[in-house]
């Protein structure tokens, strides 16, 4: 689907099926006055041919904004959200004789998931298969309600691409079963707590994972420990990830676009802005802008040169938000048990413009000196804050 608004062209799932009609629409892109080109799709893997076609039909310019399941895309579009999945639903008794349940209907996946299923069966793991592949259970069933009765769920994705985590995984979390995953190499980034999932990275892992499944099934204390997050709450890293979806991807796209436009305006010669720092005697006061992730409006804080540290930055951020009676953007989205009353804390602070992969997992100032250097290079520095 193609949407056009005010010089912005959004191609919705444009490359999943490059039919002649869609190729024609892509070809028309460079014939129109499009200021921003957005490629949107809830997928992660693009073939070399698809990338080449998109590049060619965009007049060789490439896309301005990419929206996919990848956390490295400009505006990530994941399968997860507090609203869609009752992740903190209580754990139900495990009443089925089989250890695991599988719902696999695409038997032509690009990865080794069917071989992994067969390998687990050869390792004497009993599996009830409700999907079209290796089906051994008849009838139509409610997937989540069915999974609740099993100790393990085979959350086998159809592709092993980074960040490509679908409902197979999140429905397993809702059901209170331990996900056994064939999927992205970074699936641990999506785990609700350490030790809460099992990961088959390659076929050679099947035997060791089968051994772990048998051990957990035979040791209730160890099994319950893997599900302790259901009672104690998930990790801050998991909350920070899922909280991203408290703001719909279309709204996050608008924030991304508005930020781009504002940055362009601020770089124009005629733009007047407040001084970035003020020096009196030996002391300099730095003007810094902050905003919560998922919001557009920036707020001002000030740091003195005598206390230009990361701890001072975090302290001033919290002081600013508290003085404004700021309500975190996830407040009404999280389950009641995870809302923390009026309390919250800083999980990450990072420069505006970074991807969520950088913000959540890879970026970190290398001490106070690195932070101070950033302020010198980027006057009136702008930061985004993740609260948990």
Name the DSSP class of 362.
I
- Under 8 Å between Cβ of 182 and 172: no
End-to-end CA distance of the chain: 36
Residue 226 has pLDDT above 60, yes or no: yes
What is the sign, positive or negative, of the torsion defined by CA atoms of 106, 108, 109, 113? positive
Q: Distances from the Cα of 257 to the Cαs of 35, 131, 271, 288, in angstroms?
A: 11, 41, 19, 21
Q: Out of 1-5, 74-78, 192-196, 343-347, which region has the weakest mean confidence (pLDDT)?
A: 1-5
What is the sign, positive or negative, of the torsion defined by CA atoms of 80, 82, 86, 89? positive
Chain CA centroid to CA 167, Å: 13
pLDDT at 117: 98
Q: Distances from the Cα of 218 to the Cαs of 119, 165, 289, in angstroms?
A: 20, 29, 54
In percent, the amount of the chain with pLDDT more than 90 equals 76
* Arithmetic mean of pLDDT over the chain: 89
pLDDT at 272: 83
Residue 240 pLDDT level (bands cut at 50, 70, 90): very high
Helix ranges, the chain (H): 20-28, 48-57, 113-122, 143-147, 167-175, 206-218, 220-226, 229-232, 236-243, 249-267, 310-323, 356-357, 368-377
d(CA 181, CA 157) in angstroms, rounded, equals: 8
For residues 232-242, average pLDDT: 98
Residue 195 has pLDDT above 60, yes or no: yes
Q: Distances from the Cα of 104 to the Cαs of 80, 128, 134, 187, 272, in angstroms?
A: 20, 11, 8, 19, 58
Residue 3 has pLDDT above 50, yes or no: no
d(CA 75, CA 28) in angstroms, rounded, equals: 24
Token reading at 346: 């800083």
Residue 58 has pLDDT above 80, yes or no: no
d(CA 236, CA 265) in angstroms, rounded, equals: 36
For residues 246-258, average pLDDT: 94
Give the global pTM: 0.87
Residue 214 has pLDDT above 50, yes or no: yes
pLDDT at 245: 98
Q: Mention the CATH class of domain 100-232.
A: alpha beta
Name the DSSP class of 253.
H
Pairing of strands 65-67, 100-102: unpaired
Closest listed residue to residue 183, CA positions, set 205, 155, 204, 211: 155
Residue 290 has pLDDT above 70, yes or no: yes
Maximum C-alpha span of the chain = 81
What is the sign, positive or negative, of the torsion defined by CA atoms of 10, 14, 15, 21? negative
d(CA 80, CA 84) in angstroms, rounded, equals: 7
pLDDT at 66: 85
d(CA 19, CA 23) in angstroms, rounded, equals: 6
d(CA 298, CA 296) in angstroms, rounded, equals: 6
Residue 7 pLDDT level (bands cut at 50, 70, 90): low
How many other C-beta atoms can be found within 10 angstroms of the C-beta atom of residue 18?
Answer: 15
Residue 283 has pLDDT above 90, yes or no: yes
pLDDT at 81: 96
Q: Distances from the Cα of 154 to the Cαs of 89, 177, 200, 303, in angstroms?
A: 19, 10, 10, 51
d(CA 355, CA 252) in angstroms, rounded, equals: 12
Q: Out of 42-46, 100-104, 117-121, 177-181, which region has the weakest mean confidence (pLDDT)?
A: 42-46
Residue 295 pLDDT level (bands cut at 50, 70, 90): very high
Three-state DSSP class for residue 10: strand
Can you name the residues that pair with 285 across neighbouring β-strands? 278, 304
Closest listed residue to residue 384, CA positions, set 321, 304, 309, 306: 321
């Amino acid at each position: 689907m193609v949407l056009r608004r005010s010089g912005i062209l959004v191609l919705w799932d444009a490359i999943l099926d490059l039919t002649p009609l869609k190729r024609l629409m892509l070809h028309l892109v460079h014939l129109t006055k499009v200021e921003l080109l957005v490629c949107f799709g809830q997928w992660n893997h693009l073939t070399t041919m698809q990338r080449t076609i998109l590049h060619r039909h965009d007049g060789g310019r490439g896309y301005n904004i990419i929206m996919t399941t990848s956390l490295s895309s400009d505006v990530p579009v994941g399968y997860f959200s507090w609203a869609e999945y009752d992740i903190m639903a209580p754990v139900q008794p495990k009443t089925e004789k089989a250890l695991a349940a599988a719902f696999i209907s695409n038997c032509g996946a690009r990865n080794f998931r069917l071989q992994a299923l067969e390998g687990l069966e050869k390792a004497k793991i009993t599996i009830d298969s409700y999907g079209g592949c290796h089906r051994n259970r008849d009838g139509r069933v409610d997937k989540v309600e069915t999974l609740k009765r099993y100790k393990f769920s085979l959350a086998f994705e159809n592709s092993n691409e980074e960040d490509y985590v679908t409902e197979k995984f999140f429905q397993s979390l809702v059901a209170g079963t331990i996900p056994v995953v064939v999927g992205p190499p970074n699936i641990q980034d999506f785990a609700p707590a350490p030790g809460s999932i099992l990961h088959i990275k390659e076929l050679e892992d099947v035997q060791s994972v089968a051994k772990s499944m048998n051990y957990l099934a035979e040791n209730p204390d160890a099994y319950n420990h893997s599900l302790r997050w259901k009672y104690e709450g998930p990790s801050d890293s998991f909350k920070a990830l899922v909280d991203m979806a408290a703001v719909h991807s279309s709204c996050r796209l608008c924030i991304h676009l508005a930020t781009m436009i504002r940055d362009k305006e601020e770089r124009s010669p005629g733009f007047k802005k407040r001084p970035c720092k003020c020096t009196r005697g030996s002391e300099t006061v730095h003007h810094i802008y902050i905003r919560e992730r998922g919001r557009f409006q920036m707020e001002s804080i000030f740091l003195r040169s005598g206390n230009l540290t990361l701890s001072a930055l975090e302290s001033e951020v919290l002081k600013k938000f508290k003085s404004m009676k700021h309500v975190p953007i996830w407040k009404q989205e999280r389950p009641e048990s995870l809302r923390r009353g009026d309390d919250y804390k800083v999980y990450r602070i990072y420069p505006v413009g970074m991807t969520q992969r950088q913000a959540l997992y890879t970026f970190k100032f290398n001490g106070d000196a690195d932070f101070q250097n950033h302020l010198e290079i980027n006057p009136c520095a702008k930061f985004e804050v993740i609260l948990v």
